[in-house]
Amino acid sequence: MLRVIGKRIALLIPTLFGLSILLFLWVRSLPGGPATALLGEKATPEAVARVNELYGFDRPLPVQYLTYMGRLLRGDFGVSINTGRPVLEEFATRFPATMELTIVALIFAIGIGIPLGYLAARHYGRILDHGSVVLSLIGITVPVFFLAFILKYLFAIQWSLLPPDGRQNPRIDATHYTQFYVLDGVLTGEYDAAWDALQHLILPGIALGTIPLAIIVRITRASVLEVQNADYVRTARAKGLMERTIRGSFILRNAMLPVVTTIGLQLGLLISGAVLTETVFAFNGIGRFLRDAIFGLDYPVLQGFIIFIAILYALINLIVDLSYSVIDPRVRVQ
């Protein structure tokens, strides 16, 4: 197990190295160069020259790259142009918000997606099956931000059931230790604050979770359809095993491998979706911060975030691969 993990982390190094070169070149190819991005387009040539000297942008590219790489390895991702605070610190304060949102979205997507996909396959060709196919088709084709608008209009504006934006009602005086608002409320015993934060998560969570939901329904359905006619299922039936055991231990468990892979692959989609969802719901997480970074051309933030995501992506893929051996013991043998 440890050897597998070590090997995977070693494989990550060339990818990150390549990515760092691309990002380095990306910043140098920004219109007007990094100095203009820092100072804005109306900067005087003298100011640009001074910044170039100060940050070393006038030195040869390989030297600049080595300095940049050295800082990255020490965990220094630079300072945000928009806010003037270290990039890592900005991420640390905003990441919990997006994490909370993503967890709600995934609970929604997995909690509904797997049972629905399973039931659709069990009732293949009947109304429930057709319904799930149509539903997943709609889920894939409706843009996240449009869905966010529909939810916001219906549930927040028209029927006033849920809050339209933000993370928590500003009138609630809540204590925040972890920046996970729901968790904070539970830990401090301020249950009304936790409940309020949870209500703020429902609409954006559903908006963000719908595409993963649609994909999980499809994969689960296809996977169960393939597995339920397998020879070992027929054998299990012939042996006279209880239908419940057959469904749980034979069909569902074997059908889960592609589903778990798919869930792991949703990360990119969730991050892109978070940028859009957080924009519509004025939700103060990483997504909204990135959107502002895009407009301010806040390249240290974008750079740092892309590296961060690439590492996260690799880690999640690793967890997915390791979870195979839990689900399917045959993988362990190899």
Instruction: Kindly list the residues in this chain that would bind another protein in the complex (CB under 8 A).
Output: 14-15, 18-19, 22, 26, 29-31, 137-138, 140-146, 149-150, 152-153, 157, 267-269, 271-272, 275-276, 279-280, 290-291, 294-295, 297, 299, 302, 305-306, 309-310, 313-314
**At its nearest, how many Å lie between another protein and the CB of residue 299?**
8
Closest separation in Å from C-beta 64 to another protein? 18
In the complex, least distance from residue 141 CB atom to another protein, rounded to whole angstroms: 4
Residue closer to another protein by CB (options 187, 311) is 311
- The radius of gyration of the chain's CA atoms, rounded to the nearest angstrom, is 24
Question: Shortest gap between Cβ of 193 and another protein (angstroms)?
Answer: 27
Cα-to-chain-centroid distance, residue 321? 18
Q: In the 8-state DSSP scheme, what is residue 48? A: H
Distance of alpha carbon 177 from alpha carbon 192, whole angstroms: 16
Question: Between residues 77 and 305, which has the closer beta carbon with respect to another protein?
Answer: 305
DSSP letters, 252-309, are IHHHHHHHHHHHHHHHHHHHHHHHHHHHHTT--SHHHHHHHHHHTT-HHHHHHHHHHH
Residue 86 has phi, psi (to 5 degrees) of: -55, 140
Query: How many angstroms from the chain centroid is the CA of residue 248?
Result: 29
State how far the Cα of 315 lies from the Cα of 49, in Å rounded to an integer.
41
* Neighbour-count burial for 159-190, b at 16+ CB within 10 Å, e otherwise: eeebbbeebbeeeeebebeebbbbbbbbeeeb
Which CB, 125 or 329, lies closer to another protein?
125
> Closest separation between CB of residue 80 and another protein, Å?
15
Minimum CB distance to another protein smaller for 205 or for 287: 287
Q: Which residues pair with 79 in a beta bridge?
A: 86
The separation between CA 106 and the C-alpha centre of its own chain, rounded to angstroms, equals 9
**CA angle at 10 for the pair 302 and 256, rounded to the nearest 5°:** 85
CB of 229 to another protein, least distance (A): 13
Q: Which is nearer to another protein, 146 or 191 (CB)?
A: 146
- Identity (one letter) of the amino acid at 241? L
Secondary structure (DSSP) of 112-123: HHHHHHHHHHHT
Question: Which is closer to another protein, CB of 114 or CB of 290?
Answer: 290
CB of 22 to another protein, least distance (A): 6
Cβ proximity to another protein, 197 vs 206, nearer residue: 206
